[in-house]
Amino acid sequence: MSQDIHLRSAISLGKAIQSREISCVEVATAFLDRIDSLDSQFGAFLAHDRESVLSAAAESQKIVDSGEAGPLTGVPVAVKDNISTNGLETTCASKILKGYVPPFDATVVEALKASGCVVLGKTNMDEFAMGASTETSAYKICRNPWDTERSPGGSSGGSACAVASRLAPISLGSDTGGSIRQPAALCGVVGFKPTYGRCSRYGLIAFGSSLDQIGPIGQCVEDVAYLAQATTGHDPLDSTSLNLPPISTAELKSRTIKGMKVALPEELFGDGVDSGVREAVNVAVEKLLKAGAEVTTISLPSIKLGVTTYYIIAPAEASSNLARFDGIRFGHRASSGTHIGVVERSRAEGFGHEVKQRIMIGTYALSAGYYDAYYLKAQQVRAMMRQEFDKVLSEYDLVLGPTSPIPAFRLGEMADDPLALKLVDFCTIPANMGGMPAISIPCGHTQNGLPVGLQLLGGRENDEFLLSAAYAIEQELGFGILTPPTV
């Protein structure tokens, strides 16, 4: 068992811990050793502390010994670096927050600890979650375990890479326009964005407050479902938190594909979709048809407006949210001078190019004379998109399509074409615009061996149905847990 700890799914590890086949400390040690010996080639982690991890594992073992262990007790969880962790540096992969150690845990981190999970460390990301390749991190490049010359996607690239490379059995990311699902697809793992409001955002360092949602990344649907169960539920500290119980796994394995009504938007299969991605998704659709699903091609015209709308609303909200980072209260502070001069230089020195660009775009969209023309119009389009999806999801169980229009791309490949990089989120943005739950599961590979993700999108607050449908589809597709050649 000790030789294959890293190859086990999170749920499998949890069962082995409960049965005393292995201890929590042995599991934590195995993953810490892998991080220390292998992460230099992946760049998945920005911070971890061996002593605190082993101490937490020892506390989890006490829960096991008391007979009170749950399905994830003792399982290490990697946490994206924009989620606050008490006593562990949290930087959002930005120089402006270098050295910032939160004095509190985010609600989801408190929930992890309450479930007996062990916080393994903080994962690499695009700076302030602004990007789709993890190349805007101020600290290090993150690489895809399927081909280390390629991007793991973003902005939760470190969280997806950590799971795919087996440096962590499971992780948490955040998703503003696809930042959990897109890297999960590119790394051959499962990524789940719950309904907006099902998972508390308290302690998440905000990018776009009406779009952000924390969610799990794991090796299989069962793993992410159980981590979602552990981390969701109403939180009075988050004013947008829904007054709903935690996501339940009780019916996870009860769904059948026969009779499932699936909508296939033609807009998600346009010319911008890579041929290898298209082929893998089409093969998956054929399997669902053979299993008895009712698949119908439909039109959702608002999908084509998603990227443009997103890149007005998200930067506008970022402009407001990032105003607090002024070099005065915490994080990077420029050398002495006038108050205004210190603020200006701190922000100029601390923020990277992508973040500065989005702050300026957002400030412009909110400025007098342009608010109605840009921000207000974008919100109207967003409402239209939500109405279109609501109508379709009242008639169908799921909306299905590729998660990313392209497989993992080479690092630096899109450096001179920022618009092309933004279009990578074309398929995932609608779920954030409407606050709907969505999940990406592996559905095959391209001809050169890169993983392809299949996205399933469900109705708001129907997270349990979506997860059970994803589990059934995962079993039908038959790929199991994908293992990169570097593992």
Confidence of residue 3 (pLDDT cuts 50, 70, 90): low
Is residue 404 part of the annotated active site? The answer reads no
Residue type at position 447 = Q
Alpha helices, DSSP H, located in 291-338: 306-321
pLDDT in tens, 77-119: 999 999 999 999 999 999 999 999 999 999 999 999 999 999 9
Residue type at position 428 = T
Is residue 391 part of the annotated active site? The answer reads no
Q: CA–CA separation, 161 vs 292, rounded Å?
A: 34
Is residue 80 part of the annotated active site? The answer reads yes
Of 179, 200, 319, 404, which is the active-site residue?
Answer: 179
pLDDT at position 244: 98
Q: CA–CA separation, 27 vs 118, rounded Å?
A: 10
Report the predicted TM-score, pTM, of the whole model to 2 decimal places. Answer: 0.97
Confidence of residue 458 (pLDDT cuts 50, 70, 90): very high
CB 310 within 8 A of CB 433: yes
Q: Check: CATH 2.60.40.420 for 1-487?
A: no
Confidence of residue 487 (pLDDT cuts 50, 70, 90): confident
- 269: pLDDT strictly greater than 60: yes
For 353-381, what is the mean pLDDT? 93
**Helix, strand, coil content of the chain in percent (nearest 5):** 45, 15, 45
CB 389 within 8 A of CB 301: no
Crossing angle, helix 306-321 and helix 353-366, to 10 degrees?
100
pLDDT in tens, 130-171: 999 999 999 999 999 999 999 999 999 999 999 999 999 999
pLDDT in tens, 393-411: 999 999 999 999 999 999 9
φ, ψ dihedrals at 23, nearest 5°: -95, 160
Of 9, 155, 302, 468, which is the active-site residue?
Answer: 155
128: which residues sit within 8 A by CB, 6+ positions away?
A: 82, 92, 93, 94, 205, 207, 318, 322, 355
Of 9, 12, 60, 80, which is the active-site residue?
Answer: 80
